[in-house]
């Protein structure tokens, strides 16, 4: 009778690796990088909030003066209230738009379901502020739709500036998160559970209300919180469409660009972070109390409605939402080619002048964007993969600390990360202001979570016994990583990497605080053009950016073997 | 009421395949009497689950009739058929407690609160689940989830109980225990029960009658004893229990009554003769006229007596049985012999003799 080898849980053999110096070396480097560039800037910024502007950080100087402004200054209070108000409103609108769409794509037998899902990715990868000024073109004072409605219907539409525009633009940018997450949850539902309800006597409507919806409620809640977090951290949309409507991110920007009041900026950032953390805590609480894992379920999808009425309605609704959601991109594209466009439906004449004009100005910003994004991506890949391995293989005792360190900057507003880097490396042992490195590091901080999450999931699905088998055959830890793990995790690494790269091309929130004249990126170029009211040229660059990003994400998904929608879930 | 009689006639289910239609279920007909425990048995993909789901109403039949107590069910949606169903994966509602899971069907029927409480409590007691009433499915073991699943199906006193491979996800010992519990429960309640499984031992252990499916067709219906003793086709003989198959030629061409000659020259006149269906005839080699089937427990093994010389390849101890695997010229496959006591002077590697009693042998011929 053969003796069975003790097969443990998911951890690989410890004795072999712990003696391997290479693992240790990598571990130390990872900890150093995490400490210097993930933890230190944020902690430093947090401390600065408690010190008056210009004074050094020391126990004697601690004060709540910066925070006191929230009780004394009307602008602060308004910004806080506006952030919460627009965040909640955008979340509700996004959810209302996305839920029927998610149900339709998951449960109605519609043609082109895959195409609909793929199209929803477009708002996600286009930088939101690019879409924001499309709304100005459409619904601004001399906007196309405004003039059309006035001419043919006689109404005077309210201006798009201010809360309505901000909420609309935010909702349309972020509703795909709700769609993708909820649609995924509905599609993965165990069909037998709904069939069991049917056999017990429930009609289709009762099943929807008592079984289907309650089971996807956690997914809906999670998605709503993601939209909320992203909305209150968004800088681009409120800065372009807000007008007098200040929110916390624009207030931060104002404090820095107007007064260089780092203390005040940090304090506002802390409050924004508090809001984010409160939302995340709620999310974690929901997941803990209601994790409905339907393990042992079948692989067959739930049946779809096939009635003509359901299909027509589903199609009409989905395409309507998609058209409205990508309308900004279409408008931008049209505007980039428009000669004269005096408020008619379509431009009167077309021209390539705008592209010609920006072409000469474009080479530097594009090169800068590519270099900076590329550098940050490389850093993300190395660091992200190493930490993902550590996290997935449960080799660290304080795994939660690692997870938090990586995921926290991901959910923080870009502006907050910008502030943190600005303050951390403005003086002291390491001065990086105005360099390319500070931008690369800020990008790295904001996006490493993409690689981390993607690779950690992939590694968790790779049987640790493969590494054991390699070790028994005589391979060192480094060799096992190189020849076994990395090749198997490669699609996930690649997917994460291109996701990082493509979304960094259009990054504005952190860049706007950290760039120097030498290191202007595409997004800054667009931003400056918009502020200078040169919308046509901004549109040209914007269109190029969107198309480039879309192509990159398409390639990424092909290489990773998934469809685009799955990359973002 | 709970002992409804089921009648299935020419039930067919076709799916659109890549090259024309694929029939998952083909012209299946059978009757189930009130209070009967009826099992549909067969390998994966044989159509038994599809048939069950058509009776439940979860799949639409392409053609055929389904009647319960004389009433045609074809136009009745599943939620109105008042049938209880237990799924292989249990399919408990994860967001509801055990109590709420079981109460679900009663709530849908609009029963008053105290009646629901009473009936749920009674059903939980029936399945020894009273202590778990407030738990969620995620905190239950497989066996417990299984029982909640049954309780949920029974609480509203359905006309029939359908079970789709309910024990497949349990470990071996639990499987045996649960099948006895299900059987005892069914006997106690007297409810007409349709059971689907691929495990022939499970089927023969609990059923009043069985239906053997193969490739979408119903091959044989009968009690476990009938099917075991008188299997109608080679497939059924092989699927239920273990069987030895010995190729045979007719002693006198065209006359099966004269007996057959086995591959090693031995003459044999099997008492029972069964004509093969076209599909199984086609799989017979041209040189053979048929196959003799003899169960391992009927083969007589001896050190000295017997017509068929053989060599013992292996002797195995299986619980209360001793199995001898022997090789002979009578068949290209090894022959299995099972006895409860060791055969004297017969050991592994040694020679021995076999005798095939004619009263237990069955000839399947063209």
pLDDT tens per residue across all 569 residues of chain A: 333 333 333 444 444 445 567 777 877 888 888 888 888 888 888 887 888 777 777 777 778 887 888 888 888 889 999 999 999 999 999 999 999 999 998 888 888 888 888 888 888 877 767 778 788 878 877 777 777 777 788 777 777 888 988 999 999 989 998 998 888 888 878 889 999 999 999 998 899 899 998 888 888 888 898 899 889 988 888 988 888 899 998 988 888 888 888 788 888 888 888 888 888 788 777 766 655 544 344 556 777 777 888 888 888 999 999 998 888 888 888 888 887 776 666 777 888 888 888 887 778 888 899 899 999 999 999 999 988 888 887 666 667 777 777 877 877 788 888 888 888 887 767 777 778 889 999 999 988 988 888 888 888 888 888 888 888 888 888 888 888 888 888 888 887 888 888 888 888 888 888 888 888 888 888 888 888 888 888 888 888 888 888 887 787 777 766 666 666 66
How high does pLDDT run on average in chain B?
Answer: 91
> Considering only CB atoms, which chain B residues are within 8 Å of A290?
95
Q: Count of CB atoms within 10 A of residue B70's CB?
A: 8
Question: Which of A343, A435, A326, A284 is CA-nearest to residue A140?
Answer: A343
| Residue B94 to residue A293, Cβ atoms within 8 A | yes
* Selection from A16-30, B9-23, B112-126 with the highest mean pLDDT: B112-126
Which of B60, B84, B94 is most worth mutating to test chain A (most A CB atoms within 10 A of its CB)?
B94
Helix (H, G, I), strand (E, B) or coil at B15: strand
Query: What distance in Å separates residue B84's CA from the closest CA in chain A?
Result: 6
pLDDT for A291 equals 52
Tell me if residue A191 falls in helix, strand or coil: helix
Cross-chain Cβ contact B80/A215 below 8 Å: no
Where are the domain boundaries for CATH 2.40.50.140 in chain B?
242-365
Residue A198 in contact with partner chain B when CB distance is under 8 A: yes
For B227-266, give one letter per residue: b (16+ CB within 10 A) or e. Answer: bbeebbbbbbbebbbebbbbbbebbeeeebeebbebbeeb
Q: Is B293 within 8 Å of B362 (Cβ atoms)?
A: yes
Contacts of A296 in chain B (CB under 8 A): 89-90, 169
Selected residue of A192, A194, A199 to mutate for chain B interface (largest B Cβ count, 10 A): A199
Give pLDDT, residue A294.
46
Query: How close is the nearest chain A Cα to the Cα of B135, in Å?
Result: 13
Task: Could you please state the CATH topology (level 3) that the domain comprising B242-365 is classified under.
Answer: OB fold (Dihydrolipoamide Acetyltransferase, E2P) (2.40.50)
pLDDT band at B103 (very low <50, low <70, confident <90, very high): very high
**Residue length of chain B:** 366
Cα(B13)–Cα(B60) distance, rounded to whole angstroms?
Answer: 8
8-state DSSP, B281: H
Selection from A301, A313, A321, A300 nearest residue A106 by Cα = A301
Our CA-based measurement puts residue B165 at a distance from the nearest CA of chain A, in whole angstroms, of 13
Q: Are A347 and A334 spatial neighbours (Cβ–Cβ below 8 Å)?
A: yes
Nearest CB partner across the interface for A192, out of B81, B91, B105: B91
Give the residue on B whose Cα is nearest the Cα of A298: B89
- pLDDT-based confidence at B17, cuts 50/70/90? confident
Q: Does B353 touch chain A (CB under 8 A)?
A: no
Contact B104 A200 (CB under 8 A): yes
Task: Could you list the beta-strand ranges (E) of A358-466.
Answer: none
Range(s) for CATH 3.40.50.300 in chain B?
Answer: 4-229
Judge: B58–A202 Cβ closer than 8 Å, yes or no.
no
Using a CB-CB distance cutoff of 8 angstroms, which residues of chain A are in contact with residue B84?
199
Residues 298 through 337 of chain B touching chain A, CB cutoff 8 Å = none
Q: Do β-strands B192-197 and B160-164 pair in parallel, antiparallel, or remain unpaired?
A: parallel
pLDDT digits (tens, 9 = 90+) for B31-73: 999 999 999 999 988 899 999 999 999 999 999 999 999 899 9
Q: What pLDDT, on a 0 to 100 scale, did the predictor assign at position A3?
A: 31
Contact criterion met (CB < 8 Å) for B85 and A195: yes
Yes or no, beta carbons of B83 and A203 under 8 Å apart: no
Local structure of A258: helix, strand or coil = helix
Distances (CA, A) of A110 to A193, A207, B108: 23, 21, 31
> How far is B351 from B332, CA to CA, in rounded Å?
17
Distance from C-alpha of A328 to C-alpha of A305, rounded to nearest angstrom: 32
Q: Yes or no: is domain B4-229 CATH 3.40.50.970?
A: no
This complex has an ipTM of 0.80
Do residues B5 and B178 make contact, with C-beta atoms less than 8 angstroms apart? no
**Number of CB atoms found within 10 A of residue A42's CB:** 23
Q: Chain A closest CA to B112's CA: distance in Å?
A: 16
B45 touches chain A (CB under 8 A): no
**B93 to chain A: closest CA residue:** A193
A215 interface with B at CB cutoff 8 Å: yes
Counted across chains A and B, CB pairs separated by less than 8 A come out at 74
Q: Which residues contact B165 (CB under 8 A, 6 or more apart)?
A: B49, B88, B196, B197, B198
Q: Supply φ then ψ for residue A246, to 5 degrees.
A: -85, 140
Please check whether residue B102 touches A, CB under 8 A.
Answer: no
Report the first-to-last Cα separation within chain A, whole angstroms.
48
Name which of B73, B81, B91 to mutate to probe chain A: the one with the most chain A Cβ atoms within 10 A of its Cβ: B91
Tell me how far apart the terminal alpha carbons of chain B are, to the nearest angstrom. Answer: 46
Check A195 against B87: CB less than 8 A apart: yes
User: Which among A363, A335, A237, A238 is positioned nearest to A534, based on CA atoms?
Assistant: A335
Nearest-CA distance A205 → chain B (Å): 12
Helices and strands (H, E) in chain A, number of each type: 27, 0
Cα within 13 Å of Cα(B304), Cβ side: 2
- The token duo for A493 is 């690494």
CA distance to partner chain B, nearest, from residue A67 (Å): 43
Whether A488 contacts chain B with CB within 8 A? no
Which residue bears the tokens 């590329």? A374
Question: What DSSP string runs through A503-568?
Answer: HHHT--TTHHHH--GGG--HHHHHHHHHHTT-HHHHHHHHHHHHHHHHHHHHHHHHHHTS-HHHHT
Residue in B95, B108, B153 closest to A292 by CB = B95
Task: Give the gap in angstroms from C-alpha B169 to the nearest C-alpha of chain A.
Answer: 9
Contact B95 A197 (CB under 8 A): no
The 10 Å CB-count burial string (b at 16+, else e) for A468-479 is eebbeeebbbee
* A280 Cα to chain B: minimum distance (Å): 23
pLDDT at A20: 67
Q: Are B13 and B217 in contact (CB under 8 A)?
A: no
Residue-level pLDDT at A298: 53
Pairing of strands B255-262, B244-252: antiparallel
């Amino acid at each position: 009778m053969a003796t069975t080898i003790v097969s443990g849980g998911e951890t690989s053999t410890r004795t072999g690796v712990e003696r391997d110096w290479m693992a240790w070396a990598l571990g130390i480097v990872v900890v150093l990088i995490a400490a210097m560039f993930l933890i230190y800037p944020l902690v430093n910024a947090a401390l600065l909030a408690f010190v008056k502007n210009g004074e050094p950080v020391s126990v004697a100087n601690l004060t709540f003066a910066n925070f006191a402004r929230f009780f004394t200054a009307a602008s602060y209070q308004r910004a806080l209230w506006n952030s919460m108000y627009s965040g909640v409103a955008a979340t509700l609108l996004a959810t209302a738009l996305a839920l029927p769409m998610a149900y339709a794509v998951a449960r109605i037998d519609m043609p082109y379901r895959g195409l609909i899902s793929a199209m929803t990715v477009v708002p996600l990868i286009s930088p939101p502020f690019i879409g924001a000024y499309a709304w100005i073109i459409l619904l601004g004072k001399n906007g196309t739709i405004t003039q059309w409605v006035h001419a043919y219907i006689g109404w005077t539409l309210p201006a798009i500036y201010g809360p309505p525009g901000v909420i609309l633009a935010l909702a349309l940018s972020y509703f795909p998160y709700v769609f993708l997450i909820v649609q995924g949850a509905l599609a993965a539902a165990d069909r037998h559970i709904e069939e069991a309800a049917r056999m017990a006597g429930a009609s289709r409507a009762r099943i929807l209300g008592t079984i289907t919806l309650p089971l996807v409620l956690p997914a809906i809640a999670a998605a709503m919180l993601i939209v909320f977090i992203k909305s209150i951290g968004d800088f681009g949309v409120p800065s372009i469409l807000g007008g007098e409507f200040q929110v916390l991110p624009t207030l931060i920007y104002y404090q820095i660009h107007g007064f260089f009041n780092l203390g005040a900026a940090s304090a506002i950032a802390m409050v924004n972070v508090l809001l984010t953390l409160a939302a995340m805590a709620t999310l974690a609480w929901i997941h803990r109390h209601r994790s409905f894992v339907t393990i042992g379920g079948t692989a067959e999808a739930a049946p779809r409605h096939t009635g003509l009425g359901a299909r027509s309605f589903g199609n009409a609704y989905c395409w309507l939402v998609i058209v409205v959601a990508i309308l900004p991109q279409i408008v931008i594209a049209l505007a980039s080619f428009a000669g004269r466009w005096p408020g008619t439906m379509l431009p009167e004449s077309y021209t390539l002048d705008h592209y010609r004009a920006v072409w000469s100005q474009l080479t530097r910003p594009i090169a800068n964007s590519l270099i900076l994004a590329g550098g940050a991506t490389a850093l993300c890949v190395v660091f992200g993969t190493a930490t993902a391995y550590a996290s997935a293989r449960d080799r660290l005792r304080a795994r939660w600390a690692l997870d938090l360190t990586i995921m926290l900057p991901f959910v923080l507003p870009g502006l907050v990360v910008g502030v943190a880097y600005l303050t951390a490396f403005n003086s002291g042992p390491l001065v990086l202001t105005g360099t390319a490195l500070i931008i690369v590091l800020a990008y790295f901080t904001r996006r490493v979570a993409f690689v981390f999450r993607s690779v950690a999931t992939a590694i968790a699905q790779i049987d640790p016994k493969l590494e054991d088998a390699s070790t028994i055959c005589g391979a060192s830890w480094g060799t096992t990583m190189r020849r076994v793990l990395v090749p198997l995790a490669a699609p996930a690494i690649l997917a994460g990497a291109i996701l990082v790269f493509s979304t960094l091309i259009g990054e504005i929130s952190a860049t706007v605080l950290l760039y120097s004249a030498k290191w202007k990126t595409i997004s800054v170029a667009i931003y400056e053009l918009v502020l200078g009211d040169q919308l046509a040229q901004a549109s040209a660059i914007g269109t190029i950016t969107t198309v480039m990003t879309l192509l990159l994400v398409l390639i990424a998904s092909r290489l990773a073997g998934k469809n685009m929608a799955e990359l973002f879930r | 009421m709970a002992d409804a009689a089921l009648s299935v006639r020419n039930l067919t289910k076709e799916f659109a395949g890549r090259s024309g239609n694929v029939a998952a279920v083909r012209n299946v007909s059978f009757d189930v009497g009130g209070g009967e425990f009826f099992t549909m048995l067969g390998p994966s993909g044989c159509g038994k689950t599809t048939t069950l789901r058509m009776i439940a109403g979860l799949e639409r039949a392409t053609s055929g009739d389904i009647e319960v107590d004389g009433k045609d069910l074809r136009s009745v949606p599943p939620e109105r058929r008042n049938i209880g169903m237990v799924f292989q994966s249990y399919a408990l509602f994860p967001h509801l407690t055990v109590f709420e899971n079981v109460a679900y069907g009663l709530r849908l029927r609009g029963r008053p609160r105290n009646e629901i409480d009473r009936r749920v409590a009674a059903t939980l007691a029936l399945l020894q689940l009273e202590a778990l009433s407030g738990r969620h499915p995620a905190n239950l073991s497989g066996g417990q989830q299984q029982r909640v699943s049954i309780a949920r199906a029974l609480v509203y006193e359905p006309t029939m109980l359908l079970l789709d491979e309910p024990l497949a996800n349990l470990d071996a010992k639990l499987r045996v225990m649960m099948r006895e519990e299900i059987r005892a429960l069914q006997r106690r309640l007297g409810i007409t029960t349709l059971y689907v499984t691929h495990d022939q031992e499970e089927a023969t252990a609990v059923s009043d009658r069985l239906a053997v499916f193969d490739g979408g067709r119903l091959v044989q219906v009968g009690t476990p004893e009938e099917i075991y003793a008188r299997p109608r086709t080679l497939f059924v003989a092989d699927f239920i229990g273990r069987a030895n198959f010995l190729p045979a030629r007719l002693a006198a061409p065209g006359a099966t009554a004269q007996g057959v000659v086995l591959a090693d020259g031995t003459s044999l006149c099997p008492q029972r003769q069964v004509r093969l269906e076209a599909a199984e005839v086609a799989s017979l080699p041209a040189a053979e006229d048929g196959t003799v089937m003899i169960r391992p427990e009927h083969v007589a093994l001896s050190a000295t007596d017997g017509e068929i010389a053989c060599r013992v390849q292996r002797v195995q101890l299986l619980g209360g049985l001793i199995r001898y695997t022997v090789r002979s010229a009578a068949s290209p496959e090894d022959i299995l012999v099972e006895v409860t006591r060791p055969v004297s002077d017969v050991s592994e590697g040694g020679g021995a003799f076999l005798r095939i009693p004619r009263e237990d042998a069955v000839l399947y011929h063209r």
